[in-house]
Chains A and B, each alone.
Chain A
Amino acid sequence: MADTTAIESISVDPSRRARLAEFWYYFSENRGAVIGLWVFLALVVIAILAPVLAPHLPNAQYRDAVLLPPFWEAGGRVSYLLGTDAVGRDMLSRLLYGAQYSLFIGVIVTTIALTGGIVIGVIAGYFGGWLDTLIMRVMDVILAFPSLLLALVLVAVLGPGLTNAMIAIALVLQPHFVRLTRAAVMAEKNREYVTAARVAGAGNFRLMFKTILPNCLGPLIVQATLSFSNAILDAAALGFLGMGAQPPTPEWGTMLAEAREFILRAWWVVTFPGLAILITVLAINLMGDGLRDALDPKLKRS
Chain B
Amino acid sequence: MLRFLLGRLAVLIPTFIGVSIIAFSFIRLLPGDPVALLSGERVMSPERHAQISHELGFDRPMITQYLDYLGGVLSGDFGTSIVTKSSILDQFFVLFPATVELSVCAIILAIVLGIPAGIFAAIKRGTLFDQTIMGTALVGYSMPIFWWGLLLIILFSGILQWTPVSGRISLMYFFPPVTGFMLIDSLLSGQSGAFKSAVSHLLLPTIVLSTIPLAVIARQTRSAMLEVLGEDYVRTARAKGLSPFRVIGVHALRNAMIPVVTTIGLQVGVLLAGAILTETIFSWPGIGKWMVDSVFRRDYPVIQGGLLLIAGIIMVVNLIVDLLYGLINPRIRR
Q: Using a CB–CB distance below 8 Å, which chain A residues touch chain B? A: 32, 137-138, 140-141, 144-150, 152-153, 156-157, 159, 229, 233, 236-237, 240-243, 253, 256, 260, 263-264, 267, 270-271, 273-275, 277-278, 281-282, 285-286, 289
Q: For residue A146, which residue of chain B has the nearest CB?
A: B273
Contact B310–A146 (Cβ < 8 Å): yes
Contact A146–B14 (Cβ < 8 Å): no
Q: Return the 5 tightest CB-CB contacts between A and B, nearest first.
A: A274-B147, A141-B18, A146-B273, A148-B273, A281-B142
For A286, the chain B residues whose CB sits under 8 A away are: 138
Contact B14–A137 (Cβ < 8 Å): yes
B329 at the interface (CB under 8 A from A): no
Q: List 21 A-B contacts (CB under 8 A).
A: A137-B15, A141-B18, A144-B15, A144-B19, A144-B315, A145-B22, A146-B269, A146-B310, A148-B276, A149-B273, A152-B291, A156-B303, A236-B146, A240-B147, A241-B280, A253-B146, A264-B158, A270-B150, A273-B147, A277-B147, A278-B147
CB-CB contacts of B108-136 with A at 8 A, as 1s and 0s? Answer: 00000000000000000000000000010
Given contacts A145-B314, A149-B273, A153-B307, contact A140 B296 (CB under 8 A): no
Q: For residue B165, which residue of chain A has the nearest CB?
A: A264
For A148, the chain B residues whose CB sits under 8 A away are: 273, 276-277
* Contact residue among B18, B143, B276, B298 (Cβ-Cβ distance under 8 Å from A138): B18
For B273, the chain A residues whose CB sits under 8 A away are: 146-149
Which B residues from 185 to 213 make CB contacts under 8 A with A? none
For A147, the chain B residues whose CB sits under 8 A away are: 269, 273
Residue of B21, B273, B310, B314 contacting most chain A CB atoms (<10 Å): B273
Contact B146–A240 (Cβ < 8 Å): yes
For B56, the chain A residues whose CB sits under 8 A away are: none
For A278, the chain B residues whose CB sits under 8 A away are: 139, 142-144, 147
- Interface size of B by CB at 8 A reads 45
Q: Using a CB–CB distance below 8 Å, which chain B residues touch chain A? A: 11, 14-15, 18-19, 21-22, 26, 29-31, 135, 138-139, 141-144, 146-148, 150-151, 153-154, 157-158, 269-270, 272-273, 276-277, 280, 291-292, 295-296, 298, 303, 307, 310-311, 314-315
* Contact residue among A149, A240, A242, A271 (Cβ-Cβ distance under 8 Å from B291): A149
CB distance from B270 to the nearest CB of A (A): 7
For A240, the chain B residues whose CB sits under 8 A away are: 144, 146-147, 277
Given contacts A144-B314, A153-B307, contact A274 B18 (CB under 8 A): no
Measured between alpha carbons, how far is A167 from B29 in the docked complex, in Å?
A: 15
Given contacts A146-B270, A152-B276, A274-B150, contact A281 B30 (CB under 8 A): no
Contact B307–A149 (Cβ < 8 Å): yes
Measured between alpha carbons, how far is A137 from B10 in the docked complex, in Å?
A: 11
For B296, the chain A residues whose CB sits under 8 A away are: 242
Contact A146–B11 (Cβ < 8 Å): no
CB distance from B128 to the nearest CB of A (A): 13
CB distance from B9 to the nearest CB of A (A): 13
CB distance from B40 to the nearest CB of A (A): 16
For A282, the chain B residues whose CB sits under 8 A away are: 138-139, 142
Q: For residue A241, which residue of chain B has the nearest CB?
A: B292
CB distance from A35 to the nearest CB of B (A): 11
Q: For residue A140, which residue of chain B has the nearest CB?
A: B15
Contact A153–B154 (Cβ < 8 Å): no
Contact B154–A156 (Cβ < 8 Å): no
Contact A270–B154 (Cβ < 8 Å): yes
For B29, the chain A residues whose CB sits under 8 A away are: 157
For A271, the chain B residues whose CB sits under 8 A away are: 151, 154
Given contacts A140-B18, A153-B303, A264-B154, contact A277 B276 (CB under 8 A): no
Known: A237-B146, A240-B147, A256-B150. 12 other contacts (CB 8 A): A137-B15, A144-B18, A145-B19, A157-B29, A229-B142, A237-B144, A253-B146, A256-B146, A256-B147, A270-B147, A281-B144, A286-B138
CB distance from B191 to the nearest CB of A (A): 29
CB distance from A165 to the nearest CB of B (A): 13
Contact A263–B150 (Cβ < 8 Å): yes
For B144, the chain A residues whose CB sits under 8 A away are: 233, 236-237, 240, 253, 274, 277-278, 281
